[in-house]
Structure 1
Amino acid sequence: MPQYKLTYFDIRARAEVARYLFALAGVEYEDKRVTQEEWQKMKPNVPNPFRQLPILEKDGNVMIQSNAISNYLAMEFGFHGNDNMEKYKIEMVGESIYDMSKAMMTANFEKDEEKKAKLTEDFYGTFLPKWLSAMEKILKESTGDYFVGNRITLADVGFIFSCDYLLAAKPDAFKDHPGLSGLYDRLAANPKIADWRKNRPQTMF
């Protein structure tokens, strides 16, 4: 049986989609969480040419870049597309989710208060309504209850991960989008996802 080790900080962020995939697959792994102090000591010798985390190790092979790691695990565990069109749809949804997350984080972490106010207004007033409507349409065009048919894929995992942050900031985000609301609830009720969310280390973000 392969031996997996995922190294990242004690936060969700860039490693959490991979952790969701391990939970869904029921595959054991070492969830190595390091402090900033530990990372500074590790950094010069870390097996990653970019000197950054996360890192996934599997039987001596080192994998880097969070999206690449998530895609790899999704393919390994059966949560990616069964054909090229399904793979396209999964990656299209993933990029769309990334666009939303990036826009929200850009607004949240802007230090200039005037710019922050403008970015926040643009995100919640313009970007988010259009994004939610587009995602609702994409979901309705699916042949099943998830973004790609009747099974959970990487697209759905990315959705619940990112929308946790969105709903924390705007709890009523899905009020006019029953499809997205239903999808979120179905994913949250999945026993393996629910168990992971209940028992994972509680972190700030």
Structure 2
Amino acid sequence: MSGKPVLHYVSVRGRMEPVKWLLAAAGVEFEERILKTKDDLQKLRTDGCLLFQQVPMVEIDGMKMVQTRAILNYIAGKYNLYGKDLKERALIDMYVEGLADLFELIMYHEFKPANEKEKDLANIMDKATNRYLPVFEKVLKDHGHDFLVGNKLSRADVNLLETILMVEEFKPDALAKFPLLQSFKARMSNIPSIKKFLQPGSPRKPPLQEKDIPNLLAIFS
């Protein structure tokens, strides 16, 4: 073992993507073990690596961690991205859980039947621009600092940038009415560790494509 975290997941965006974002933001190198077939997944299950029989799974500090929120909480705590006290941690959790709701909508969009996709996309953009993004515009205004919580980078900032970029893939001008979020995006994108992750060739995955779905279903069915 190299000592690097080892990430076990399929070769698309999904529940592992926020884990990669958080490790990258912390400047932590990691290895990926891509599941290509159902047998790959079954081997992890047979070997007793998956507590609840499902991925993502991250090998870190001698543990085989599953459950995305648990993984993210551990990484955030380990690399000082989880606030300085309980109150800051509560704020970070609130912001992250809100963003998780929007993330779920985006993640499942490509799985919608073709005749429902237009309506589903309209729903995603309505919620993004009228429910979620206004919240974070207000948080930045009321807080008055460069970051969402305290005055240092936290997992909430990383998660918000990741979500903003996903929304902009659907609608490039999604931030048109949110000047503070525009500035936030520019600041976060220029943090060296994050800037590196945004470059071509990084482990960041492209948006899920319809052509990827049959193989995913074959692995997880």
TM-score category by the smaller chain?
0.7 to 0.9
- 2:182 corresponding residue in structure 1: 181
Q: Indicate how the Cα distance of structure 1 residues 131 and 61 shifts in structure 2: closer, same or farther if over 3 A, else same.
A: closer
* Structure 2, unpaired ranges of 5+: 208-221
How far off its partner does 1:172 sit? 0.4
**Match of 1:89, as an amino acid?**
L
RMSD over equivalenced CA pairs, Å: 2.4
How far off its partner does 1:202 sit? 6.0
Larger CA deviation: 19-28 vs 91-100: 19-28
Is residue 29 from structure 1 mapped to residue 52 from structure 2 by the alignment? no
- 1:98 corresponding residue in structure 2: 100
How far off its partner does 1:146 sit? 1.0
For 1:35-50, list aligned pairs within 5 A.
35-37=36-38, 39-45=40-46, 46-50=48-52
Contact 1:16 1:161 in 2 (8 A): no
1:120-155, Cα deviation, whole Å (9 max, x unpaired): 333334663232222211222224111113211000
Q: Indicate how the Cα distance of structure 1 residues 31 and 123 shifts in structure 2: closer, same or farther if over 3 A, else same.
A: closer
Structure 2: how far apart are the matches of 1:29 and 1:127?
31
For 1:1-205, list aligned pairs within 5 A.
3-37=4-38, 39-45=40-46, 46-111=48-113, 113=115, 115-125=116-126, 128-198=129-199, 199-201=201-203, 203-205=205-207
Q: SS of the counterpart of 1:80? A: coil
**TM-score normalised by the chain length of structure 1:** 0.86
Q: Indicate how the Cα distance of structure 1 residues 40 and 28 shifts in structure 2: closer, same or farther if over 3 A, else same.
A: closer
How far off its partner does 1:40 sit? 3.7
Query: Larger relative contact order (C-alpha < 8 A, sep ≥ 6)?
Result: 2
Percent identity over the alignment is 28
**TM-score normalised by the chain length of structure 2:** 0.81
* Structure 1, unpaired ranges of 5+: none
Aligned residues: 204
Structure 2: how far apart are the matches of 1:35 and 1:73?
26
Larger CA deviation: 92-101 vs 194-203: 194-203
Structure 2: how far apart are the matches of 1:194 and 1:55?
26
Structure 1: how far apart are the matches of 2:146 and 2:128?
25
